[in-house]
Structure 1
């Protein structure tokens, strides 16, 4: 069977592939699908999938272009000729970035791959709380035919913290709903798709919280954003507001969130990420009826590998045309 039909190649078949795919998959999808998607886009390129630790270590020795979910120090030490590592996640904080920089390895990420699916996840969470579907579901389980109060999304203020690909996707999907949008980013002078754009300045951010109905966290975890939504933020935010976190768990102070829920300082929360993660079975966040918890699942999409392969294939072409070219989604150097 030919490589284009989705079978990985062994070391005997190729000593130095044009593209090496590491063995870890994601979202429960076989990594073979990722390799096959790259081959489909690069029919004249040798794409090898290393399916065991031994195959990874042998194949990476001479590989110049490698892609995968992660790359640890041990495996990196065996990569004598590595020039590009295409990370299959949007975040790269789990990589040995200092060593990669010292080795002058170009690193790209999967930014933009999650835009449609996470955008839909956020929109679904907002509509769930706007129309109080969680209340209807509870009454359905109890077989109670009883009217309950709901809300309207139209006319609400949605604050989106982080205006990268995901934040922009959220904003695009909110456009038909007649809401006011506020974007928060590190460089507000760059503007954005929201009605207003501001930075992380304390006073401006506090004023925004005070008029926010839905607070969407779509930012990376940095020193600035760690603990951004803390006790003071929950005291400041409108008590009818809903928190939606699809960023990283530590952007929210978990103890402060539990206190806010117990004290009715917010209307509810939709959490795709938590701190700690996974959330322990005995954690109080499981017990709140106005908290929606999904297991870091907003990123799941059946088109993940397809979108990722588009980025990787384009960068393979760029490197082939010009080894010094700037790559799509290049994060370093």
Structure 2
């Protein structure tokens, strides 16, 4: 081991992502302190010599091999696929990349809302068929958006919608502080009130035991027939069968979906062909600014690790 802690980027991180990370971390962290594994064998071999792992996944073999591990940083905001119990038993800190996707995801949510409100969903389908058929567009100003999960992403969604003159409802586990852009804030358990009142429902909550299947048949019955659902959270937050039925029977107006129960979305899914659905391939968080935003979190936490101050780490999950 060197005097300063070493980090591992395992082979499971795609090469282009690894190159971006190395370029971003160069300078703030010595190159000798960042080990890059290109194969499964190298990942296991290097693991014993590192105090931190920067990764998108963490399997049991890697965790077992990393006997000196003190910190794991997830390159995603969602960490539902990490073994929290095993990390707690090892007293390993888990941090995530929450916040780095807020701007691109919020902009994409705004795009979805405009596509439905201005009739662009209908227009693009008519264009594909070569049909000229006039339709009327609406305005987002004066409409109500409900954001389920006002974290970093949900707050930015609220801010953009508020600027356009929308009424913003939101849910949050801790309601002691409310973002300025949220007009009415509800406790997480009171999300049914948001579903009942919103013209647009945006799911921006993490996937947890509490949020799995959050929206099912009962919830879709609460929404009115003009409601549009936007899911940029996780596919598992929604009962996809119940959603499909609601869309097929026009119990709700439509849905813009970036995440699904199974990814890639199976070719035989009816969601592909429904006229009131927009499908994107889990790309709402994509942005060329990811490396610099990763750097800000990773470097700050690396310095805290080197100083023995794990309590000073940001974006802590565990």
Q: Which residue of 1 aligns with 2:88?
A: 101
Moved over 4 A (4+): 14-17
Over aligned residues, Cα RMSD in angstroms? Answer: 2.2
- In 2, are the aligned partners of 1:16 and 1:59 still within 8 Å (CA)? no
- Report the Cα offset of residue 54 of structure 1: 1.8
Structure 1 residues 208 and 86, CA, compared in 2 at 3 Å: closer, same or farther? closer
Q: Which residue of 1 aligns with 2:285?
A: 299
- Where in structure 2 are the equivalents of 1:151-170 lying within 5 Å? 151-170=138-157
Q: Which residue of 1 aligns with 2:187?
A: 199
- 1:228 aligned to 214, 219, 225, which one? 214
Q: Which residue of 1 aligns with 2:268?
A: 282
- In 1, are the aligned partners of 2:175 and 2:185 still within 8 Å (CA)? yes
- Report the Cα offset of residue 276 of structure 1: 3.0
- 1:185 aligned to 148, 172, 189, which one? 172
* 3-state DSSP of counterpart to 1:159: strand
Structure 1 residues 24 and 110, CA, compared in 2 at 3 Å: closer, same or farther? same
Structure 1 residues 44 and 263, CA, compared in 2 at 3 Å: closer, same or farther? closer
- 1:267 aligned to 253, 271, 276, which one? 253
- Report the Cα offset of residue 269 of structure 1: 0.3
* 3-state DSSP of counterpart to 2:317: strand
* Matching of residue 56 in structure 1 with residue 43 in structure 2: yes
- 1:320 aligned to 306, 309, 315, which one? 306
- In 2, are the aligned partners of 1:20 and 1:48 still within 8 Å (CA)? yes
Unaligned residue ranges in structure 1 (runs of 5+): 1-10
- Report the Cα offset of residue 56 of structure 1: 1.4
Give, in whole Å, the separation in 2 of the partners of 1:205 and 1:106: 31
* 3-state DSSP of counterpart to 1:226: coil
| Structure 1 length-normalised TM | 0.89
- Report the Cα offset of residue 185 of structure 1: 1.7
| Structure 2 length-normalised TM | 0.93
Q: What is the number of residues matched between the two proteins?
A: 317
* Matching of residue 212 in structure 1 with residue 198 in structure 2: yes
Give, in whole Å, the separation in 2 of the partners of 1:281 and 1:324: 45
Unaligned residue ranges in structure 2 (runs of 5+): none
- Report the Cα offset of residue 58 of structure 1: 1.6
Q: Which residue of 2 aligns with 1:114?
A: 101
Give, in whole Å, the separation in 1 of the partners of 2:308 and 2:66: 22
Q: Which residue of 2 aligns with 1:25?
A: 13
